Structure 1
C-alpha cells in the first residue's frame, strides 16, 4: 500500500510504549492505521484477567472488522507495544478512498480478512480444554525442523496469550520437562519427542 496516498487524509498521533491507544468498548470514531511500531490487543474479562488477542504491525488497520458494524466499538484494549505512530482518518474520508481507489479497497478487504483469520485461530486455541493442550499446540507450531524454538516473549506475556496465571504456565513447562517432552534453558526449548504422538491436541 502506497502510504503517500494515505498521509494527507488524516493526522498522525504518537504513542509511547505501554500507553493505551483505545479502551475496550470505546466507540470507533475514526479509522486508525498503524504506521510505525507495534500494538497489542488485549481483552479484559469481568474478573480482571487479561487475554492477549493479537499483535498489530505496520501497515495494519486497528479493528478493521468493526469499523462499519452496527455498533462500531473497539472489542479489546489497544496498547502500544513500543513507541508507535498512528494515522487517524475520518470515516467519511476513508469511505471516499474506498470508492475511488481500487488498490486501497483491496488493502482494506485483505486487512479485514486477515483480522478474522487471526480471531478464528484464537478461538480454536481457546476451545482447547486444558492449559497443557495449549502449550503443546504452541510448541508444535513454533518449533523448527530441529524441534527447537526460542520463546518470543517472557512467561508473563505468554500467560496473557494463554489466558492463565504465570505460575500455572510455569508448572506446565516443568511437568513437560519432567516427563521428558522438552528441555528448557531460559527461553530456549528443545522438543525431545513429538507431543502429537502422546497427547491429543
Structure 2
C-alpha cells in the first residue's frame, strides 16, 4: 500500500478530484484508506458479479473490459485508458456489483478507495460531491437520450444501435464475440439479412468479420457514418 504525498497528488488529474486544492486533498486523505497497486499485464482485479465495495481508478496503463450477456450468448471486449474512474454508479443503489471483468493489458497503476471513505468525501467536500453528481448525471442522461431515440426500420441502423447499447464507452475499439445466428435472433430477422448488412459495413471498412466475432476499430466512427 502506497500512501505518499506524491501518490495522492496523482488524484488531482482524475475527474472526481478536479478543482480540489492540494490542501483539501491532504485533509481528505488523512482520514481515508487509499490502496495503490502496481499490477503486471494480464492481472484481473475486478470480476463480473463481485460486490462493489471500493471505487477503482486507473492511474496508469490500459485495462480490458469484458462484459457478457445475461444468458452468455455473446460477449463484448473494450478498453479503458487513463486516467479513468471505474463505474462509480455501481458503488450505491439497487445493483452494487460489477457487471464486467477488468484485466490489465499492460503494466498498470490502480487506486482503490473504500466505500466509507468515498461517502466521507461526498459529505465533507463540496467539489467532490459536485464532481460525483456530474459523472452520475452525465451517465444517466446519455442512457436516457439513447433510449428515447426513435426506432428505425433500417436493419443497418438497428444493428449499429445494438452495438452502441452493449458497450460501456462509445469511443474506441470493440470486439463482439457473437454468432451471426445469435445476432439475427436479437434483430428478429433471418440470418442472411444480418450477414448482408455486416458484409456491407465491412466493405465500407467500418468493421471486420471473423469467425464468431465482429471487430469494430472505432465504434464512434461507425455510429457517425451511419448517422445514428
- TM-score normalised by the shorter chain: which range applies? 0.5 to 0.7
1:1-201 equivalences under 5 Å are 2=12, 5=25, 9=32, 10-45=34-69, 46-47=71-72, 49-52=74-77, 55-117=79-141, 119=143, 132-133=156-157, 153=173, 157-160=174-177, 164-165=178-179, 172-176=197-201, 182=204
- CA deviation profile, 1:144-180 (whole Å, cap 9, x unmatched): xxxxxxx954xxx4335xxx348989864533576xx
- Is 1:64–1:115's contact at 8 Å kept on the other side of the alignment? no
Separation of aligned partners in 2, 1:39 and 1:92: 25
Separation of aligned partners in 1, 2:121 and 2:172: 37
| TM-score, normalised via structure 1 length | 0.59
Please report the RMSD computed on the Cα atoms of aligned residues, expressed in angstroms.
4.4
CA-CA distance at 1:73 after TM superposition = 0.9
- CA deviation profile, 1:100-153 (whole Å, cap 9, x unmatched): 11121122122223433555577689x878873356679xxxxxxxxxxxx954
Cα distance change on mapping 1:19 and 1:152 into 2, 3 Å: same
Tell me, what secondary structure is at the counterpart of 1:47?
coil
CA-CA distance at 1:27 after TM superposition = 0.8
Aligned length: 171
Cα distance change on mapping 1:13 and 1:74 into 2, 3 Å: same
| TM-score, normalised via structure 2 length | 0.54
